[in-house]
Chains A and B, each alone.
Chain A
Amino acid sequence: GAGVSQSPRYKVAKRGQDVALRCDPISGHVSLFWYQQALGQGPEFLTYFQNEAQLDKSGLPSDRFFAERPEGSVSTLKIQRTQQEDSAVYLCASSIEDWSSTDTQYFGPGTRLTVL
């Protein structure tokens, strides 16, 4: 079946612009995660949804970052007033179970954001 998809795959923004990154998880997956991956590093957790509820946003680096999943499927990560340090690959992952069990996360291809 279809995997996790993300759009756009590449995004170039001028400093100060707002951006919106979309994630389509695997159908039926309860959990959805956003990660930030800097060049040459492993993914770092940003936020987690169980259905439409955002249960953990402790990894969001500032209040310029906002994520939502209003209907419990598609999610959007929004970054306001982008800064150069926001340049990274933003990965979305989904898993079938809720947070009460540890389960496999399936990653999308990521969105590479470059802030000029």
Chain B
Amino acid sequence: GENVEQHPSTLSVQEGDSAVIKCTYSDSASNYFPWYKQELGKGPQLIIDIRSNVGEKKDQRIAVTLNKTAKHFSLHITETQPEDSAVYFCAASMRRNNDMRFGAGTRLTVKP
């Protein structure tokens, strides 16, 4: 089955700096890659996703890149703000929804 690895496990940046979180996946058939943000006591919230037919997607300060050949994808947050502090999860799945696999998460801390 699919295996997703996520790095780093913790990341601390200064407000205004950029943050990058990287994930690798094992199954070349995976074609959907969402990123979730989870704040303390809350469920994961989708922040951006990318499908395998594109290499990059951007939404304001957030962007995701996908390298299908290398089987890795990354989340980029620019101009970080303290409210970006949370745990971020990447995930990967094939065409069926019920095989989505999550990374172990990255705890991002943005220091004011």
Contact = CB atoms under 8 A, between A and B. Distances in A.
A36 to B, nearest CB: 11
Contacts of A6: 43
Interface residues of B, number: 29
Contact of A104 (B46, B103, B105): B46
B104 A56 contact: no
B73 interface: no
B89 interface: yes
Interface in B37-80: 41-46, 49, 51
Interface in A90-116: 91, 93, 95, 97, 99-110
B104 to A, nearest CB: 5
Q: Which residue among A43, A103, A109, A110 has the maximum number of chain B CB atoms within 10 Å of its CB? A: A43
A107 B45 contact: yes
B98 A104 contact: no
Contact of B100 (A4, A40, A105): A105
A43 B102 contact: yes
Interface of A: 4, 6, 31, 33, 40-45, 48, 55-56, 91, 93, 95, 97, 99-110
Given A99-B97, A102-B94, A105-B100, 11 more contacts: A4-B43, A40-B105, A42-B4, A42-B91, A45-B99, A97-B97, A102-B51, A103-B97, A104-B49, A105-B97, A109-B41
